Structure 1
Amino acid sequence: MAYSQPFPRAQPQQTEKVTYGPDLSVRLICPECRDLNPNIREEFGSGDLVCGNCGLVLGDRIVDTRSEWRTFANDEGDDPSRVGAAIDPLDGMENLDTLISFKDGGSGVARELQRAAARSVNGRSERNLMLAYRQISSWCDQFSLPKTISDIAKQLYKRSDEEKLLRGKTQEAVIAACMFIACRQAHVPRTFKEICSLTRVQKKTLGQCYKALEQAFNLGAPNGHMHDNGSGGIPGTGAEDLLVRYCNHLDLPPNFQPICADIIKAARELGIGDGRSPVSIAGGAIYFTCYLLGRDKTAKEVSTVAGVSEGTIKLVYKQYLFAKEKLVKREWIKSGKADIKRLPTDSSGLS
């Protein structure tokens, strides 16, 4: 039907896209030399385009596109110091402060300078923020924690301070909770007991601050599960995460950790050690694996590293001993890595 659509919609006209680019057929030559292969040089010091043969200036105001390296060293030689600092997500307040010395010969000038420096800081909140940043850096250095954890803890503290999440809590308690969360976020597990011993904050207060920050920032445990912290285990961190650090402190070989981790996973599937903290499970599994692989480590050495009592270590060992046939793989015995006969069956054989 020719009249079914008397006014059809006009089709949009397709226009050709015009692309702009350099004309490669144009060649820049010196009008004096008229050489087909000119020697054109860019003098960045003066910003001129100069012919290298006759010295004729062909252009001016040339933009220097090279890297912005400058040197402020008194000695001769290259000092590739980049101009300007990198962008600091923490506003760089910890890098722009000035410390006034107390030594002024008794003239009182240092006291006046300190008052002027204190007035120059914008408000009391920023002064407290700077002090908190210094405390976080100091504790991370004492705990041998990487800078990543320090930055995460500072960002958490800044957000909690801006949103007034932990009113009434001491600054040390808030910092300890931020460091605990930062360790878990960076997959560098630390227990409640270790954080409390470092920061001198009570475990109950630390748990309250952690719960408040977890609910405010929706910091759930990874994989949707929570491990019972018990006597120091950290939520969201299993016993396998603590093996690396414990085995390094005990000077155990690298092939020890995979076997111990497999034993812990098999015991969890069988329900062995349910209700116990990851610290106790890790310590008992290491003690069990040391006997299984013929490593000479006493319960006292393992308990010192794990931070639990020797009785707890031996109790977890006994639970693993009752299910040794299900925990120890046959290929380990066939390859000679493990030997069930090394496992003592009575308390007298435990060291």
Structure 2
Amino acid sequence: QASSLCPECGGRKIIQDGGSGETICGGCGLVIAEPAINTGPEWRAFSLNEKENRTRVGLPLSFSVHDKGLATTIGPIGRDALGKSIPRETKYMMFRLKKWNNQARRNASVDRNLSRALGELQKISEKLHIPSIVQERAALIYRRALKNGIIRGRSISSMVAASIYVACRITQTPRTLEEVARHSPLDKKEIARCYRILLKELNLRTPVPNARLRVPKIASEVDLGEETQRMAIEILDEAERLKITGGKAPMAMAASALYLACRMNGETRTQKMLAEASGVS
């Protein structure tokens, strides 16, 4: 039932007939609305597993794929939908269609640029173990740079690495410039230059790095317990309250707090171990 009024008698007893799809007044019998289109599925599911197996929708849009996942992909050729072998003439025709389809997907220079750049972006992201949401943000930043003409005349690899680093800084994902450069074919200096270009040309603002978010990353490298990590975060909170963290490197502050927490909690970790895990001296 709905709470709207009937235009004929003014009654409030409005009935939605699920069988016919009509909206009827329960008082005078007036058909207020004609059959509505049911946009739901025609099948029923009694469990979450059945619902996932019966759904027929595709993957969501992804900025980390050069065509955003909307292109048609022709799979392996050789058998039909029933598993039977297809004739040779049909097979040759499908090979030609697959070739033309792949060429059409990368026909424009922008598509070829995105195809190469986003493939490299995915490789670096996998090596850095970056979450998919950060990878999507990096791909979106690269697309904006390509649209604004910032990529022209510059190395694709350097702009991809810089986009990843910008996305990590914006999302507060603890990845240093040295880590990004380690998995990129270019050096740290070139990536830093492209990083500054992206910030200036795209008018991006990165938040101040938080040392507390670096604690779990360093602790996992040297196998520290939860109690020590909580103690290190408390030390950083106290240091921030006393305003002695200004101008200090967040990774160095996190490593120092973890070292103090190890001494206080009785866990044996040397300064060298924490320095190597954090990438600072």
What TM-score does the superposition give when structure 1 sets the normalisation length? 0.58
Task: Tell me the secondary structure at the aligned position of residue 188 of structure 1.
Answer: coil
> For 2:146 and 2:264, how far apart are their aligned partners in 1?
51
Query: By percentage of residues, which structure has more helix?
Result: 2
CA contact (8 A) 2:128 2:180 kept: no
> For 2:65 and 2:17, how far apart are their aligned partners in 1?
39
Task: Tell me the secondary structure at the aligned position of residue 199 of structure 1.
Answer: coil
Q: Structure 2 vs 1, CA of residues 59 and 85 (structure 1 numbering), >3 Å: closer, same or farther?
A: farther
* Cα distance per residue 1:209-256 (max 9 Å; x no partner): 00101111223443xxxxxxxxxxxxx325343223212433232422
Q: Structure 2 vs 1, CA of residues 287 and 192 (structure 1 numbering), >3 Å: closer, same or farther?
A: same
> For 2:66 and 2:108, how far apart are their aligned partners in 1?
16
2:270 aligns with 298
* Cα distance per residue 1:288-339 (max 9 Å; x no partner): 331133222123432332124xxx3xxxxxxxxxxxxxxxxxxxxxxxxxxx
2:187 aligns with 202
Map of 1:254-333 to 2, 5 A cutoff? 254=227, 255-262=230-237, 264-265=239-240, 269=244, 277-308=249-280, 312=281
Q: Structure 2 vs 1, CA of residues 85 and 191 (structure 1 numbering), >3 Å: closer, same or farther?
A: closer
> For 2:242 and 2:209, how far apart are their aligned partners in 1?
17
> For 2:104 and 2:140, how far apart are their aligned partners in 1?
25
Match for 2:68 among 89, 94, 97?
A: 94
Q: Structure 2 vs 1, CA of residues 279 and 134 (structure 1 numbering), >3 Å: closer, same or farther?
A: same
> For 1:263 and 1:60, how far apart are their aligned partners in 2?
65
Map of 1:186-265 to 2, 5 A cutoff? 186-222=171-207, 236-249=208-221, 250-254=223-227, 255-262=230-237, 264-265=239-240
Q: Structure 2 vs 1, CA of residues 219 and 239 (structure 1 numbering), >3 Å: closer, same or farther?
A: same
Q: CA deviation at 1:48?
A: 6.4
Q: Which runs of 5+ in 1 are unaligned?
A: 1-20, 29-36, 51-57, 223-235, 313-351
% of aligned pairs identical?
Answer: 21
> For 1:188 and 1:155, how far apart are their aligned partners in 2?
16
> For 1:143 and 1:156, how far apart are their aligned partners in 2?
18
Map of 1:1-351 to 2, 5 A cutoff? 22-23=5-6, 25=9, 42=17, 44=19, 61-64=34-37, 66-70=38-42, 81=55, 93-99=67-73, 110=95, 113-222=98-207, 236-249=208-221, 250-254=223-227, 255-262=230-237, 264-265=239-240, 269=244, 277-308=249-280, 312=281
Q: Greater CA radius of gyration, 1 or 2?
A: 1
- Partner letter of residue 258 of structure 1? I
* Count of equivalent residues: 256
Q: CA deviation at 1:185?
A: 1.0
Q: CA deviation at 1:118?
A: 0.8
**What root-mean-square deviation, in Å, do the aligned CA atoms of Structure 1 and Structure 2 show?**
4.3
CA contact (8 A) 1:68 1:83 kept: no
> For 1:60 and 1:122, how far apart are their aligned partners in 2?
49
2:84 aligns with none
What TM-score does the superposition give when structure 2 sets the normalisation length? 0.70
Q: Which runs of 5+ in 2 are unaligned?
A: 25-30, 79-87
